[in-house]
Structure 1
């Protein structure tokens, strides 16, 4: 059986500003279960990159271990890729980003890969505000090892096995808020109209951008007793509002009513428009975002959309003042300036 997509495409497929069709951003055929929410997320990433007209070789996709971490094979086949050790994706991205700041880094992880074995690395990459997009494909179970409850499974929620989960869950959006992440969103794999603009905004944000995507596991965690099932999420999802992303080369217009929308210009000149459903919610306040998350959690609902964004974010490169030239382009004379420079440095420290 071949797992390669057919090379034949309709000759009149729409192209982006670079002349690429959406097929140029695809990968191999997915081997995940039919109906898996992860495949929908892969499709949303393909669509977002195509519509943003990003050159595939300018993107680096990295992952850990799990069903979610297999997905980089299924999108951006012409981009750089690295499948790392379980829970250690953040440290690999950090090293890559410090070596070459010119690439756009996308980390893909799961609720087990992030909230269990990788929790320590997740917390530190968030607080350091590394310039990356961190997508969590959250299904509340370990789908790769037969459906055990993960750390994001809600208390009382039951997977296919039928036993209710005894422990409180980890809210990764809330954790990221506390750790200092500067862009936080949540979405549902079955809602591309919300997910695609969130991915576009995250890719244009300077700093650590988290998107927690509820992605039902159709094999082990898509039953009536699960809070990560398609039916439950569709019935209990509450959005912060409607988000729209406007690239900088397009005219910035809005049809929202005066006083009910927020427009934020990002570092690259692109713009985010957010139409808020609840005027009491402030997506630019950590305290307001944390309160909104807790309020909806207590009501048994899942808050989706743009939850928090720091408009004045300074990423890790700015904080530690790294070289504007990527480290992988520096010559030996730049990295080893010689004994005289070392003598001067030592003298300045005496």
Structure 2
């Protein structure tokens, strides 16, 4: 059985500024279950990168273990890729990003890979503000091992076996906010109009950018009692506001009344636009975002959209004052400055 996408495509497919079509950002044919939310997220990533006109070889995609961590096979087939061990993707991204700051790092993980075995690594990569996009494909269960509840399953939610979950859930955006993440968002795999602009904004952000995406498991966790099902999410989803992403070369216009639209210039000159945001919610205030998340949790709602962004974010390279040039571009003389420099370092530590 072949899992390769046919190379022949319609010659009139739309091209971006670099001359690439969406086909140039695709990967292999998905082997996930038909209807899996993860495939919708993969499609949103392909659309976002194509529209941002990013060269495929400028992207490095990394993952851990799980259904979600298989998905990088299905997008950006011409980009760099590394599939790490369970829960350790953040360490691999950190090492790669420290060695070569010129790539765009896209980490893909799941609720088990992040909220269970990888929770410690997730916490540290968030607090260090590593310059990366971290997408969690969150379905509230372990799909590869027959659907047991994961750490993000809500208390009282009912699994396919009919048993309610007795434990409270880990809210990954709330954890990220508490630890100092500088870009935090949540979305739904079935809402591409919201998800694509969020991915674009995350890729333009300087620092750690989390997008927690509710992605229903159609095989094990799409039952009426599940709070991660398509039906429940659609009925209980509450957006902070409509999100648009405006590339830096496009004219910035608005159709909304003053006070109902907020334009924020990103580090690269692009603009993220928040339309008709609730006056009681400020996405640029960390405490406001934490209160909004807790309020929505208590009311049984799933808050989506841009939850928080630090407009003055300083990523890990800035905090550590690392080399402006990637390590693979430095010469032996620069990497090994000699015994005198070593002695100076040793003296400073005495």
Bin of the TM-score, shorter chain as denominator length: over 0.9
1:305 counterpart SS class: strand
1:292 is aligned to 292
Moved more, 83-92 or 325-334: 325-334
Match runs of 1:268-307 below 5 Å: 268-307=268-307
* Matched residues, number: 350
State the distance in 2 between where 1:34 and 1:267 align. Answer: 38
For 1:250 and 1:13, how far apart are their aligned partners in 2?
Answer: 22
Structure 2: segments with no counterpart, 5+ residues: none
* 1:245 CA displacement: 0.4
Q: Deviations over 1:219-273 (max 9, x none)?
A: 0000110000000000000000001001111112222221111111011000110
TM-superposed deviation, 1:347? 4.9
**TM-score normalised by structure 1 residue count:** 0.99
TM-score computed with the length of structure 2 as normaliser: 0.99
Superposed CA RMSD: 0.9
Q: Is contact 2:261–2:277 with CA below 8 Å preserved after alignment?
A: no
Q: How does 1:82-161 map to 2 (within 5 A)?
A: 82-161=82-161
Is this contact kept in 1: 2:126–2:176, CA < 8 A?
yes
Contact 2:44–2:192, Cα closer than 8 Å, also in 1? yes
Report how far residue 161 of structure 1 moved: 1.1
Quote the offset at 1:193 in angstroms.
0.1
Per-residue CA deviation, residues 64-106 of structure 1 (Å, 9 max, x unaligned), is 0000000000000000000000000000000000000000000
Task: Provide the rounded CA distance (Å) in 1 between the counterparts of 2:4 and 2:344.
Answer: 58
Q: Which position in structure 2 is the counterpart of 1:19? A: 19
Distance in 2, Cα, partners of 1:345 & 1:211: 40
Partner of 1:80: 80
Matches within 5 A, 1:193-232: 193-232=193-232
Moved more, 271-280 or 92-101: 271-280
C-alpha distance in structure 1 between counterparts of 2:152 and 2:278, whole Å: 26
The corresponding residue for 1:32 is: 32
Could you tell me how far apart the structure 1 residues matched to 2:216 and 2:19 are? 35
Structure-1 separation of matches of 2:141 and 2:276: 32
Q: Which runs of 5+ in 1 are unaligned?
A: none
* Inter-CA distance 22–157: structure 2 relative to 1 (3 Å threshold): same
Matched residue SS, 2:333: helix
Identify the residue that residue 319 of structure 2 maps to in structure 1. 319
**8 A contact 2:115–2:172 mirrored in 1:** yes
The alignment partner of 2:113 has SS state of helix
Question: Quick one: structure 1 residues 309 and 343, their matched pair in 2 at CA, closer, same or farther if it must change by over 3 Å?
Answer: same
